[in-house]
Amino acid sequence: DTGVSQDPRHKITKRGQNVTFRCDPISEHNRLYWYRQTLGQGPEFLTYFQNEAQLEKSRLLSDRFSAERPKGSFSTLEIQRTEQGDSAMYLCASSFSWDYTDTQYFGPGTRLTVL
């Protein structure tokens, strides 16, 4: 069990550029979540997938954000036309929905800095 992995770990970009992050969940987990965390705050939910289907999206997920999980394994989160307010840690988590506890396990996060 290698845990949840995220790539890259750090990303610095200029305002207006597009960025894409990748998350690889724990191999048998069918649910995958994206969260965003700004300094001094707890993580905030963005969206989640069960297998390939995107089941829920937060109002925080503006139209500049898009997430995909095309084969029900890894997921990508893309931010178009980045703004300075997008600077945050982007966290991915995964879980196994047939496990009654459905415990979510988090990756190390991708820290985005928008200049």
Q: State the residues that interact with other proteins by CB under 8 A.
A: 4, 33, 35, 40-45, 48, 55-56, 58, 91, 93, 97, 100-109, 111
Nearer to other proteins, 40 or 85 (CB): 40
**Least CB distance to other proteins at residue 68 (A):** 18
CA angle 112, 47, 82 (to 5 degrees): 30
- Using the minimum distance from each CB to other proteins, give the nearer residue, 14 or 100: 100
User: What is the closest distance, in whole angstroms, from the C-beta atom of residue 16 to other proteins in the complex?
Assistant: 27
How near is the Cβ of 77 to other proteins at its closest, in Å?
15
Residue 15 or 44: the one with the smaller Cβ distance to other proteins is 44
